[in-house]
Amino acid sequence: MKYNEIVGNIVSIDRQITKKPLDYKQILSKYGKKKFITILGKMIKNRFLDEEIIQLIKEGVAIHQHPTVGQEASQTVAFSLLEKEDYGVPNHRGWGWAIGKGLDLKRMMAELMGKKTGYCRGKGGPYLADRENNLFLRSGIQGSYVSLAAGIALGLKMQQSNNVCLCLFGDGSSNAGYVHEGMNIAATSKLPVIYFCENNLYALFTPYQETTSVADIADRAVGYGIPGYIVDGMDAFAVIEVMTEAIKRARNGEGPTLIESKTYRYEGHTAYDKFSYGGYRSKEEVEEWKKRDPITLFTQRLLEFNLLTSQELESLKEKTREEIKEAVEYATQSAYPEPEDYLEQVYAEKEVFF
């Protein structure tokens, strides 16, 4: 599955339009320099964190990880466009959603290492969540979070809130019954939810063509009567464009949007996947996708538009490396939960209304 066969010249597609080139001037007019630099910083942070975790795993540190190296222009960018009060429902791959939503790296790393200073006091691990930032705990059942997101969005509508809910899921999960049930409910009730499917072409080790009946998952939006978009998930500007439109629709009470981000993971399904390079994926395929690295592409565009200097880029990278180093040190030095700690947070101590 070569890049041109999957995405070709398509940057962003409304299912009613054949091809739609990016309007950079329009995108640039909606966000200032600070916003673009912030998004780039989060993408770099996601990449460096993934690489650090892979190295820690090799050294024997117990961290459950599904790498997102190569997918930084998808979930990281999408969640970066939310307001703090907006809601996020993540899937199982990586931590780009948490970084995009603005979670603290020290507390994130502590949670991933099972330490009591983490967001869930070391009891969530990769299933981290943060109520303060309205980032919900992900479900262990693949695809079920699409229906959970519909429930959250229903609550927002009932409260007449202006906030939206962004739900992340993968191409493998797209075939689960929960997905169709949740999208149908969201569509019929015009709920303020954005469904963002990261299609990295493989469900674990299986090519998505072998499990999915359509070439483009976004086509399924037609069955729910909602807009479906395909976006080049290697291009941060393309994701910004389509997400901006989807968020606007949701806030205006126009209902849900389905976005399919055509992206690619450079690494295996997990850090223990030894067959992702030259096994179930050819080396040529992986190397071809790497030629359109999302961080490199976004950086080049920012430099071209005079929104970033080489000095600012190096400073940003150095600052990020130091932040990750401090996060690892913080997590390593933090204590594990005591036995009695596991009896806390089992039941709600008061009524909670979201």
Q: Which residues are catalytic?
A: 265, 269, 280
Residue type, 86: D
* Phi and psi, residue 163, nearest 5°: -85, 160
Q: How far apart are CA 352 and CA 203, in angstroms?
A: 36
| Nearest Cα to Cα of residue 165 among 68, 83, 229, 46 | 83
| Nearest Cα to Cα of residue 244 among 43, 28, 9 | 28
| Nearest Cα to Cα of residue 265 among 15, 125, 130, 65 | 65
Residue pair 286/277 in contact (Cβ under 8 Å)? The answer is yes
- Output the CA angle 94-96-102, nearest 5 degrees: 135
Residue pair 83/163 in contact (Cβ under 8 Å)? The answer is yes
SS (H, E, C) 89-125: ECCCCCCHHHHHHCCCHHHHHHHHCCCCCCCCCCCCC
* Phi and psi, residue 218, nearest 5°: -60, -25
